[in-house]
Amino acid sequence: MNDLANSTMTTTSPPKRIDFNTPELQRKRRIRALKDRLTRWYVFIGGLAVLGAITLIFFFLGYVVLPLFQGASLTAEKSITPAWMQDAGKPLMISVEEQNQVGMRVSDKGQVLFFNAQDATELSRVNLPIPAGTTVTSISKDQPGIPLVIVGLSNGQALVFRHTYKVTYPDGKKTISPALEYPYGEAPINLDEQGRALEHVNLNTADSTLVVAGSTGAQLHVLALTQEENMMTGEVTSEQRSIELPQMTEPVKAIYIDPRQQWLYVINGRAQADVFSLRDKSLNGRYKLLENADAEVTASTQLVGGISLIIGDSSGGLAQWFMARDPDGELRLKPIRSFQMGSARSLKSPLKSVARACRHGRFRQARRVPQHRAPDPAGQPGGRWPGPVRPVAAGNG
């Protein structure tokens, strides 16, 4: 105890104060302040950019939607008669590639002509490999998005070709080079063994199978072509088989093939549709398309997807048909909905054509408006002066 009391107490020195104003800490504070300012401006500018982007999106949506509330307009351009039309033959099909820069024209001479869609100048001309002395009597194409075309010939044969458009940029300038390909060979396909002219043709391709259909009068000709590629050698082998179907008695007006290659629709007679099963090679049924005995079918087409048929008649009516199950569970061709193009007498004129909109489930129909006949350009009375074809209706598919 005494020793503890007498022991000398050691006193500790107070701790040193931290100097926050050293050059190193001042430098760190300046860097931190700079980072804070940069982050504040970065967040501020980013927020403004987000608000600006959202505002621009609203402006874009308004720009797209606003025309829906405005009336449609049509501007007539000056007609162009290029020099190549003098010997180009009768046009059977005209199409324009998706960029609206190059057009394609197929004539009855078996000639495919590509032209500039802006000024109609000729780009290239290709003669189809058809036998000498034959002409193209019918033409059709596959579903939208598939650039396959089939032409029916006057000797009972058919040729399938594909039109392609290669985009290149020589010297930094965009150039579209059109060309033709023959995926099923350059040799025409024999449809009518008797060599009669094919009045109607159609085709459909699915996977590796191509179905081709044609008609001469009331007789049908249907073929299926299958291609198989050897995985080892790359050699492609083709197999062709005929699909025998019950024949008809009425002249054929149009032929359509289901995209699943299950049904063949044949519009024939005054107002009748025969539906054949391509799988069973049998007749599914004969369907009456019009109840009015004074009307007849004047136009028809498939909607996008190929499931529905649009039928136009001579009284200005339109009807949508497709295969649906009846109460017994059997698939039958049934009318789904119909449109009447006005009730006025002047509007009940025959429909001349029905066209589908390739990028929408819609269709367009047109009728020929009769006008007085006028002299032809040569001054002879009674010359051909057809009235204008006017689009008068649209509907969803």
Tens-digit pLDDT profile for residues 111-153:
999 999 888 899 999 999 999 999 999 999 998 888 999 999 9
Whole-number Å distance between alpha carbons of 140 and 151: 7
For residue 160, the surrounding DSSP H or E stretch is strand 157-168
Report the pLDDT value the prediction gives residue 208, as an integer from 0 to 100.
85
* pLDDT score of 174 more than 80: yes
- Mean pLDDT computed over 315-325: 91
pLDDT tens per residue, range 328-369: 999 999 999 988 875 544 445 677 777 766 555 455 555 544
> Which CATH superfamily hosts domain 82-288?
YVTN repeat-like/Quinoprotein amine dehydrogenase (2.130.10.10)
Type of residue at 32: R
Which residues, including other chains, have CB under 8 Å from residue 44's CB and lie 6 or more apart?
Answer: none
- Which amino acid type is present at position 229? E
Q: What is the DSSP letter of 17?
A: P
Per-residue pLDDT, averaged over 204-220, amounts to: 91
pLDDT digits (tens, 9 = 90+) for 246-266: 988 899 999 999 999 999 999
pLDDT surpassing 70 at residue 31:
yes
Burial of 147 per CB tally in 10 Å (0-12, 13-18, 19+) = middle
* H/E stretch holding 61: helix 23-65
| Domain regions of the chain by residue span | 82-288, 296-397
Torsion of CA 141, 143, 148, 152, to 10 degrees: -30
